[in-house]
Structure formats: structure tokens, C-alpha cells
Homo-oligomer: A and B are copies of this chain.
Amino acid sequence: MSDYKTVQALKQIDSQIAAPFRGIFILRRKTVKTARTGNPFLSIEIGDSGGSFNANCFDGTPVYEALVEASEGSIVRIAGKTEYYQDRFSPKLQAAEVIEASEAEAEGVLSQLVEIPPEPEEELWADIVAAIAAIEHPQLQETVQRVMDETATQFRTSTAAINMHHAYRHGLLEHTTHMVRACRALLPLYPQVDPDLAIAGIILHDIGKLEEYEGDFAAKVSRIGTLQGHVVLGFRTVRKAAIQCKLNADLTERLEHIILSHQGEKEWGAAAMAATPEAVFVSMIDNLDAKMGMVQRVLRNTPEGEQFSEYLMGLQTRVLLTPPDKT
């Protein structure tokens, strides 16, 4: 275990003591303010997956210099001393440094910083790779592959949502892989569904989210996300790749239709109602895995001993957390 303290650990230190500490955190918010002296200072919020705290960094200090150019969502290594002001944890920061995600991973603290899926990214990704390889229609396979070639890094780390299901790092990859697996399991039961189209549609259905959100560790909706939404953005990406790969007109339309209709209802953002066997199928699997993903997350994250989870908007109820009594 590293000697980097988590926010929870820092807050458990006796408030009377000024204890020196080191930590790696996400820079959640950063605002430039003007002090009464007329000089600027930074008001920042930093935190990890277990909590956060505020601090001020005054002009001319090394911490100010280190953070003044940092963007929200950066990872920062901090050194400081614990301190309380007005009963709130307000540590004195002595040094700060923006570091790469890879370094946080190397230090073994990345999973403390942000929530991640229980299954390793590599395993999830391997199933996407295999699913693409199994697409038999050459231009369809090439279309999916081309989109993945251009987006893989982002696709593998992005969240699937800001508020709802799979709303965490690698959430989009996890959700997509789970849908691929569900699709392959169900395809034998619905022979009316073309497997190539269904798999291609699933892998690409949420690809527009890579443009809809921005910010690596503190996702928010981007300009283009506000102006167009992920359904249209995904449609654009898929259409461009399909044209480049000379996918025939019929398959292009059907693939685009899966993207355009996967949200299920117009008020949830669907541009068209699902009207092909594949589009109905993908839309239903999306809904199934989204809801099951909420159940899985809440089972994973709620502290031991609770009978019910908090109320979940997406399920309109609390979830029973205890296992069935199979005696």
C-alpha cells in the first residue's frame, strides 16, 4: 500500500494535529478569484472516489504556479499539512504537481481516484475485439473496425453516462461489452435478427458519447454534445466510416437506424422508433443491460449490512441488497 492518503484517511486524523501528508487526487473544480489585495488566487476542490475538500492557493506560491494552468479533471499530486478552519477540513497545501493517469495507475491509486468496473479493462476489451473479428460481412466489419481504430483509447476509458447507468470510468466499455455478450447469448433464439448487424450496432450504438462528454476525470456535456446530442453524433461517426468502407446502401441505412433508434422512445432522444428486427433487438438489450447495470453497481457499492439501497431514479425504487435465503 502506498503512503498516499485518501480523503477519508485524511479526515480521520485528529483535528488538533497539523499532520504532514501526501496524496493523489482529481482537481474537480478550479475558479480564479480576486483577493481583497487585488491579487488573484485559486479556489479549488480536490477529491477522490471517497470524498473531497476545498482549498485556496494564493498568487506567488508554488502551488498556485503548479495549478493555475491545470484543467478541471486533471490528476494532481499534493503535499500539505492537515488543518481545520471553522470545523471544516481545510488543509494547507505546500506542493502540487499535475501528473498523468498512467502515473497514478503506476502508483496503484487510480482505482482510489475514480470508480471503475470490477472486471479488468483488458478482459472487457478482448471481447469487443473478438466480436468485431466475428463479423462476417467484410465492409461491415471494416466499418466497425475503422471507428474503433479512431476512438479506441477514448472508448476504453469513457463513462457511459453522467448520471444514470454505468456512470464511471470504463463504463462505456463495460456496458458495450455486456451488451455484446447478451447479444451473442440471445442470437440463437431470434433467428430473424442478422448477427452481423446486431453486433455492429451494439458496438457502435453509444459511440457518440465520446463527443457528447468532455473532461477525462470529471465528465460534463461538451458544446457539440449540447448542440447535437450523442445520437446524432454517433450517427455522423458511423455514417462517415460506412462511406469510407464502401458499405452498401442497405446495410448503411440499417446500421444508422440502429444508432438513431436505440434510445427506445422519442422523449429519451430516439430520432426514429426501432423498425428493423436488429434495431428492436439492440434497443431492448440496451435497456436490459442499463437496468441490470444499476442493480450490479448498487450491490457492489452499498456498505455491508444495509438491507436496501438508496432510492434509484432509474429504477424508481430502492433495491433489496440481501441475497435470497436458499436454505
* Contact-residue bracket for chain A: 35 or more
A317 in contact with B272 (CB, 8 Å): yes
* Interface bits A293-327 vs B (CB < 8 Å: 1, else 0): 00110010000000110000001111110011111
Docked pose: A266 CA to B250 CA in angstroms: 27
Within the complex, what minimum Cβ distance (angstroms) separates A46 from chain B? 21
Q: How far is the CA of A323 from the CA of B192 in the complex (A)?
A: 9
Q: Is the CB of B327 within 8 A of A248?
A: yes
Q: Is the interface of A mostly helix, strand, loop or mixed?
A: helix
A137–B324 Cα gap in the complex (Å)?
11
Q: Is A217 an interface residue (CB 8 A)?
A: no
Partner of A190, one of B12, B189, B296: B296
CB distance from A172 to the nearest CB of B (A): 17
Please indicate the chain B residues that have their CB under 8 angstroms from the CB of A295 in the complex.
Answer: 192, 277, 280
A129 in contact (CB, < 8 A): no
On chain B, the residues within 8 Å of A317 by CB distance are 226, 272-275
The answer to whether the Cβ of A256 comes within 8 Å of any Cβ in the partner chain is: yes
The CA of A235 and the CA of B13, in the complex, are separated in Å by: 54
Residues on A facing B (Cβ under 8 Å): 12-15, 36, 86-87, 137, 178, 181-182, 185-186, 188-190, 192, 194, 196-197, 223-224, 226-229, 231-232, 235-236, 239, 248-251, 253-254, 256-257, 260, 266-269, 271-278, 280-281, 284-285, 287-288, 291-292, 295-296, 299, 307-308, 315-320, 323-327
- Listed A/B pairs (5) with beta-carbon separation below 8 Å: A227-B260, A232-B272, A273-B315, A280-B295, A280-B315
